[in-house]
Amino acid sequence: MAADDKLRRATIHDVARAAGVSAATVSKVLRGVTSVRADNADRVRQAVADLDYRMDPVASGLRGEQRRIIGAVLPDLESAFFGKLVTGLERAAEAAGYHLIVSASRGSETREAALIERMNDWRVAGCVLVPVRSERGAGAQKLRDLGMTAVLVDRVSADERFDTVASDNHAASAAVADLLIGTGHKHVLLHGATQISKAIRTRVAGFEGRARALDPDVEIDELMSDEPFDTQRGAIRSYFEEHADGARPTAVFSLSQHSTLLVLSEIRRMGLTMPEDIALVGFDDADWMQITWPSITAVAQPVATIAERAARALFARIEGESTGFPVQYLEPCTMLVRQSAGQGTHETPRRSGRGGQG
Amino acid sequence: MAADDKLRRATIHDVARAAGVSAATVSKVLRGVTSVRADNADRVRQAVADLDYRMDPVASGLRGEQRRIIGAVLPDLESAFFGKLVTGLERAAEAAGYHLIVSASRGSETREAALIERMNDWRVAGCVLVPVRSERGAGAQKLRDLGMTAVLVDRVSADERFDTVASDNHAASAAVADLLIGTGHKHVLLHGATQISKAIRTRVAGFEGRARALDPDVEIDELMSDEPFDTQRGAIRSYFEEHADGARPTAVFSLSQHSTLLVLSEIRRMGLTMPEDIALVGFDDADWMQITWPSITAVAQPVATIAERAARALFARIEGESTGFPVQYLEPCTMLVRQSAGQGTHETPRRSGRGGQG
DNA sequence: CACGCAGGATAAACCGATTTACTTTGGGAT
DNA sequence: ATCCCAAAGTAAATCGGTTTATCCTGCGTG
């Protein structure tokens, strides 16, 4: 059987011959077209089973304009967030009978655009793009130029051409403000350790807006950079030296996982206790955050939902079911209130965000 | 241009017409076959540029037996290890002019086998498999049955059919023994929190072998399970209750990232200080480990090297450059000696392992 | 009974490349 | 001048499906 397989795989014509029908009829049966007599359909299915026939997806797609493939281009595959995103997309694609091709732009817009072109070479039916920076980047532009069907994910706000899906960064950050300002904090440090993308800017705006609304006198410092780790450590240290004792913020809102990591480390090093001396809330949850001592309050992004929504939106466009103006999907985040924020010792999920379109 | 593109892409025949040659000649030029007159080659290249021609990889591969695609099937895409592995594979594939198709088996051997079959449907030139458990699983078996070209990665020992690439778990664990036993520890706990794969077993064996060789009287406890987090927490806690004070181990070797996370958390909760009360060394490094306080000594696996080696081995088999018996590649790990092991406060990388083939 | 029509089936064209088998061309040797 | 061979080029076959245009075959109808 293995040898047989090596020798030559059964083709649709072999099946046709075995079933005593034409290849066209086999093709119909395989794709579930109804205009086939029941007995013929049965014989075809029997032949398929007998010959161990499997369709060649490459040959299958050749003729049509679009193929049962969707593409995904994202900044990297090494973070849990994107890993889960890809997993979700793959699951959805598979369920819809599509294959998924993934590529990482590795932070380069040039590469991003090149990858989009490659996806187009494959005649993908549609493409999911997580831009390096925003919807105004080279990749999205290439998608527009090539007239491709696509959905933009995560580092985007609304787009006039494509559906977009992202966490509701604004609402979630406002909820963080509710939590911190609501428990009496009057001086908060916002810390960002990654490339300043659209998502990060939205988080800052969301927090500041709500915080000032709740307490006009609140003091908010910002410490942002995308320098190497060690430089940032130094920056944090000197910030706290300049803001010693009375001038020290009583809470930190770290805007990304890396940021949370750095801030936590420096808090430890300074010997401050959490949450008594200083509270910490991080954007983007990670495994290790529920296991540190004290555990870290964090905003969890609904990755699975985002993946599912993106896939659904993409397929709707592909199938032509949705044809109207682009939709901006904002998925509500969950706040995992743990110990570092000085509220309850149990993990308490809280929903935040307005959901829906925009 | 975009409209044009939408309407119909240029085919090889369009190029041929524009250049005043036949499609066969264009094909030759495109694939770098030399038997083409220089002036014709130039006219072809000019036409390609003029028409914005891009080859269709699908049509291109249809005729030949194997296509310029390689497949990768791995347990998941959500861990940094596999993420980096995929990144490395993609880079290598791209450099060799191949496309990469990735799929996650999500811990299921049935699914693993099904995915291998799908890869075969695509007529991939070769496939990289990270088995759910070991080289004796359903996926590897399917690879053999279908007579595919493949390389097995990470959770494998030597195979009689395929090249294998993995960290040198044995040597690295022996090095951990050197470190711990060498600094006088006489009672060590081995903790494993993940599915007991071949890799985990090798780590245990490597550590125990060396430890007993160095000190025949050493006391080694094992605490392994793949139960949910909370159950494991409980297990750790009761272990330490049973081994209080004098009976308490002075060091822990955690066999995976999850394990390190759990053990660290429980050590904190018990109020033990590291490394004075108890030392900790973990297998598999993570970002957050250099940022906890104290930072955690860990064995770092050479993911990039593993990816590169796997790709190289696979392409060598594909091109028929390597035809001999399967090779087992064991890549040496690095030990990142940080604070949790009670040695030096600086990060000191140490090479461990014998490298090379087996 | 001839006609029309719909449901099924199929032969053949097609998709866009690669590869094969054959033809043409040019140049050197005889 | 003739012959031969290698280099260069091409028409056509091929890959394995899908789609189209056509062709039956009955069955209901006027």
Helix (H) or strand (E) holding B327: none
Omega before A275 within 30 of 0, i.e. cis: yes
Q: What does the pLDDT read at residue B11?
A: 95
B57 CB neighbours in chain A (<8 A) are 121-122
Q: Look at the block and give the residue holding tokens 């778990």.
A: B169
- Would the CA dihedral through A284, A287, A290, A296 be positive or negative? negative
Average pLDDT of chain B? 91
Distance of CA B72 to the CA centre of its chain: 11
Closest Cα to residue A199, out of A139, A257, A254, A134?
A134
Compute the CA torsion angle B109, B113, B119, B122 (nearest 10 deg). -140
Q: How many Å does it take to go from CA A43 to C1' C1?
A: 38
Q: Is B66 helix (H, G, I), strand (E, B) or coil?
A: coil
Number of Cβ within a 10 Å radius of residue B32: 8
The pTM of the full predicted model, rounded to 2 decimals, is 0.90
Q: What share of chain A is helix, strand, coil (3-state, %, to 5)?
A: 45, 20, 35
Which of the 8 DSSP states describes residue B335? E
Q: What does the pLDDT read at residue A344?
A: 44
Q: Look at the block and give the residue holding tokens 């191949």.
A: B98
Pairwise pLDDT comparison (A148 vs B233), residue with the higher score: A148
> What is the spatial distance between Cα A246 and Cα A262, in angstroms, rounded to a whole number?
23
Amino acid at A213: A
Q: Look at the block and give the residue holding tokens 């079959």.
A: B117
CB contact at 8 A, A109 and A79: no
Residue A284 neighbours by CB under 8 Å, 6+ apart: A81, A256, A257, A260, A298, A299, A300, A301
Block means of pLDDT (10 residues each) for chain A, length 358 residues?
A: 58 95 95 89 95 95 90 94 96 94 95 97 96 94 96 95 97 97 95 86 96 96 88 92 91 95 87 92 92 88 97 94 93 96 57 47
Residue B30: is its pLDDT beyond 80?
yes
Residues by CB within 7 A of strand D: list them: A 8-9, 11-13, 23-24, 27-28, 30-31, 53, 55-56, 59-60, 62-64; B 20-25, 28, 34-37, 40, 62-63
A6/B56 touch (CB, cutoff 8 Å), yes or no: no
Residue A224 neighbours by CB under 8 Å, 6+ apart: A190, A191, A192, A193, A196, A200, A255
A257, A290, A291, best to mutate vs chain B, most B CBs in 10 Å: A291
Residue B314 neighbours by CB under 8 Å, 6+ apart: B70, B126, B127, B128, B149, B150, B151, B163
Residues forming a β-bridge with A282: A254, A298
Q: What does the pLDDT read at residue B129?
A: 98
Alpha helices by DSSP H, listed for chain B, are 2-7, 12-19, 23-30, 38-51, 57-62, 80-95, 109-121, 138-145, 169-182, 198-214, 229-242, 257-269, 303-318
Write the pLDDT tens digit of every residue in A118-148.
999 999 999 999 999 899 999 999 999 999 9
> What is the spatial distance between Cα B241 and Cα B235, in angstroms, rounded to a whole number?
10
Comparing CB atoms, the residue among B103, B118, B293 nearest residue A269 is: B293
A146 CB neighbours in chain B (<8 A) are 2, 5
User: What confidence tier does B304 reach under pLDDT thresholds 50, 70, 90?
Assistant: very high
> What is the spatial distance between Cα A90 and Cα A292, in angstroms, rounded to a whole number?
32
The interaxial angle of helices A198-214 and A169-182, nearest 10 deg, is 40
Q: How many Å does it take to go from CA B106 to C1' C27?
A: 65
Compute the CA torsion angle B135, B138, B140, B146 (nearest 10 deg). 160
Nucleotides of strand D lying closer than 7 angstroms to a protein CB? 7-12, 14-20
Query: Which nucleotide lies nearest residue A65, CA to C1'?
Result: C15
- Would the CA dihedral through B299, B302, B303, B309 be positive or negative? negative
Q: Give the side-chain half-sphere CA count within 13 A for A210.
A: 21
> What is the spatial distance between Cα B185 and Cα B250, in angstroms, rounded to a whole number?
6
Angle at A246 between CA A244 and CA A248, to 5 degrees: 50
Q: What does the pLDDT read at residue B230?
A: 80
Residue A183 neighbours by CB under 8 Å, 6+ apart: A279, A341, A342, A343
Question: For residue B339, what are the CA distances in angstroms to A54, B16, B298, B344?
Answer: 56, 67, 10, 7
Asked if the Cβ of residue A36 lies within 7 A of any atom of strand C, the reply is: yes
User: What confidence tier does B18 reach under pLDDT thresholds 50, 70, 90?
Assistant: very high
Query: How many residue contacts between A and B have a Cβ separation below 8 Å?
Result: 130
Comparing CB atoms, the residue among B57, B84, B269 nearest residue A78 is: B84
